[in-house]
Amino acid sequence: MDLSYSAEDNAFREEVRAFIKEAFTPDIRRECERSKNGYISKDLHITWQKRLYEKGWAAPNWPVEHGGAGFTPTQKFIYTHEMEAAGAPHTIPFGMTMVAPVIMKFGTEEQKAQYLPDILASNVWWCQGYSEPGSGSDLASLQMKAEDKGDHFLCNGSKIWTSMAQHADMIFCLVRTSNEGKRQQGISFLLIDMNTPGVSVAPLITLDGPAKDQQEINQVFFEDVKVPKENLVGNLNEGWTCAKYLLEFERGNPYSGGLHRTLDKLRELAGDIEADGASLLENADFSAKLADLERQVMVMEATELRIFSDVSAGDNIGPGSSSMLKTRGTELQKDVSELAMEAIGQYGLPFVEDTLASTNESDIGMAGVAPITPRYFNVRKTSIYAGSNEIQRNIIAKAVLGL
């Protein structure tokens, strides 16, 4: 047992920091700091991901043969942690961390050659078409139909909550190809070009009040959409296997770096807020709440270190651990956003239209407050998506406790 990093690890950390210093340019930083929902403009996302690509770091999770970064587990932790701590953009996950591993595992050689390089280089924007109006936690009940028409599938139905679909070139979908047998057995995994005739996207407006075209989620409609046969990944009616494989990858992320940063910002902000003639930081109750959150983030970090120091690249951390990280991490995100909103008091009330809160004019009262309340509302999502926290508890109950 030993908490110290090796000299190589420390050197790597310095390299990551140096990279961030150079690549995380003020234009990107500004939008990251002020975005209501964690997304920035499409072009900046792409700029950032291309910078990572050039450095060879676009895909920390991929095997080296496909262009993965080849990090050790500790390096991967350091990398993610530093990125989070700097507040750098998240890599848009739908291509890089969701569909790509599925293609690597279940795709044909042609599919690998066709899709993986463009994902790695961020040439193509993907979105995830799983959820439907009638199928959320109970994903296996999905209804979107794909009929076999000889040389193509004819798709009809609708996907909902589709993040960033308005920017997407491609969508990967779970579709129903059979109604026989168990519900899980009639599902297939299909890649669909968003420009195909019959595909349309309608925005959904979330609580944080996004500006036009800056919405986070959408409903995607499919009306007699023809999808070439070669876009099927894996075997027909075996899409559920792909889906489950992917779900594991959605959760095993570290949260503590980002939480640390948000709390540091909050501490700074609270130092500037006056309460009863002193700084809010000197208020015993507030500082106790802040300290307790800082402590809980420390716990989170210790847990992450413990879990991630133990897995190597390409491996899953196991259902119990990933469910626990997801549950605790998102709960903390919500708590932190709540304390931030509490801290700014009445300046939480003004509503800012701009999703990126990109100008200082949007700060009424004091600098930096505009995105705080919208974030509080937006972050409610984290315990709902990627397997709601109730579902995560069900998973732990079953997989770990054997209940």
Partner 1 sequence: MDVEFTSEDQAFRAEARKFIEDNYPKHLIGADRGDLSKEDFLAWHKILAEKGWVAPSWPEEFGGTGWTVTQKYIWNEESAAFGTIPPLPFGIAMLGPVIYTFGNQAQKDWVLPGIKSGETWWCQGYSEPGAGSDLAGLKTRAVRDGDDYIVNGHKIWTTLAQHADWMFCLVRTGAEGKPQAGISFLLIDMKTPGITVRPIITIDGGHEVNEVFLEDVRVPAEHLVGEENKGWTIAKFLLGNERSGIAGVARSKKAIDRLREIARGELEDGAPLLESSDFARRISELEIDLTALEYTELRTLASESKGQGPGPESSILKIKGTEIQQRITELTMEAVGNYASPWVPQLDRGDNYRAIGPDHAEGVSQTYFNTRKTSIYGGSNEIQRNIIAKMVLGL
Partner 2 sequence: MDFSFTEEQTLLRNMVQSFVQDNYDFDSRMKIVRSEEGMSREIWGQFAELGLLAAPFSEEMGGLDGGPIDIMVIMEELGRGLVVEPYLPTVVLCGGILSRHASAAQQEANLPGILGGEHIWALAYSEPQSRFNAGDVLTSAKADGEGFVLNGTKAVVAAAPWADKFIVSARISGEQRDRNGIGLFIVDKSASGVSTQDYPTVDGNRASEVTFENVAVSGDALIGDATTGLSILEEALDHGIGAICAESLGHMKSLNDATVEYCKTRKQFGVPIGSFQVLQHRMVDMFMEYEQSVSMTYMVNMKLSEGEEERRKAASGAKVQIGKSGRFVGQEAVQLHGGMGMTEELSVGHYFKRLTVIDTQFGNVDHHLKRFASA
Ligand X SMILES: Cc1cc2nc3c(=O)[nH]c(=O)nc-3n(C[C@H](O)[C@H](O)[C@H](O)COP(=O)(O)OP(=O)(O)OC[C@H]3O[C@@H](n4cnc5c(N)ncnc54)[C@H](O)[C@@H]3O)c2cc1C
**Closest distance between ligand X and the C-beta of residue 15, in Å?**
33
What tokens appear for 199 in the block? 């595909």
Smallest separation, CB 366 to partner 2 (Å): 24
Q: Is 161 in the site for ligand X (CB under 6 A)?
A: yes
Q: Binding of partner 2 at residue 397 (CB under 8 A)?
A: yes
Q: Which amino acid is at 248?
A: E
Q: Which residue has the tokens 């050039």?
A: 54
∠ CA 172-177-183, rounded to 5°: 100
Does position 184 interact with ligand X (CB under 6 A)? The reply is no
DSSP result, 276-322: TTEEGGG-HHHHHHHHHHHHHHHHHHHHHHHHHTT--TT----HHHH
Assess 327 for contact with partner 2 (CB under 8 A).
yes
The rounded Cα 70 to chain-centroid distance in angstroms is 21
- Which one of partner 2, partner 1, ligand X, none is in contact with 285 (Cβ closer than 5 to 8 A by kind)? partner 1
Nearest to 24 by CA among 59, 57, 62: 57
Residue 229 is a binding residue for partner 2 (CB under 8 A): no
How many whole angstroms separate alpha carbon 47 and alpha carbon 30? 14
Per rule CB under 8 A, is residue 231 in the interface with partner 2?
no
Q: Which stretch binds partner 2 (CB under 8 A): 15-23, 61-69, 106-114, 395-403?
A: 395-403
Task: Considering only residues 270 through 299, tell me which ones interact with ligand X, judged by CB under 6 A.
Answer: none
Any idea how long the chain is? 403
The CA distance from 362 to 353, in Å, is: 8
CB of 389 to ligand X, least distance (A): 7
Q: How far apart are CA 394 and CA 101, in angstroms?
A: 25
Q: How far is CA 363 from the centre of its chain?
A: 27
What is the x/- site pattern for partner 2, positions 40-79, by CB under 8 A?
Answer: ----------------------------------x--x--
Choosing among ligand X, partner 2, partner 1, none, which partner's interface includes residue 137 (Cβ < 5 to 8 Å by kind)?
ligand X
> Which one of 121-129, 286-294, 312-320, 329-337 is the stretch in contact with ligand X (CB under 6 A)?
121-129
- Angle in degrees, CA 65, 308, 391, rounded to 5: 100
Give least dist CB 390 to ligand X, A.
Answer: 3
Q: Is the CB of 7 or the CB of 403 nearer to ligand X?
A: 403
* Residues 268-297: x where in contact with partner 2 by CB under 8 A, - otherwise, as a string: -------------------xx-xxx-xx--
Pairing state of beta strands 126-129 and 170-176?
parallel
Q: Give the residue ranges of DSSP H helices in 200-283.
A: 239-251, 256-272
Does residue 299 interact with partner 2 by CB under 8 A? yes
Q: Which residues of the chain form contacts with partner 1 (CB under 8 A)?
A: 284-285, 288
Rounded to a whole number of angstroms, the minimum distance from the CB of residue 281 to partner 2 is 10
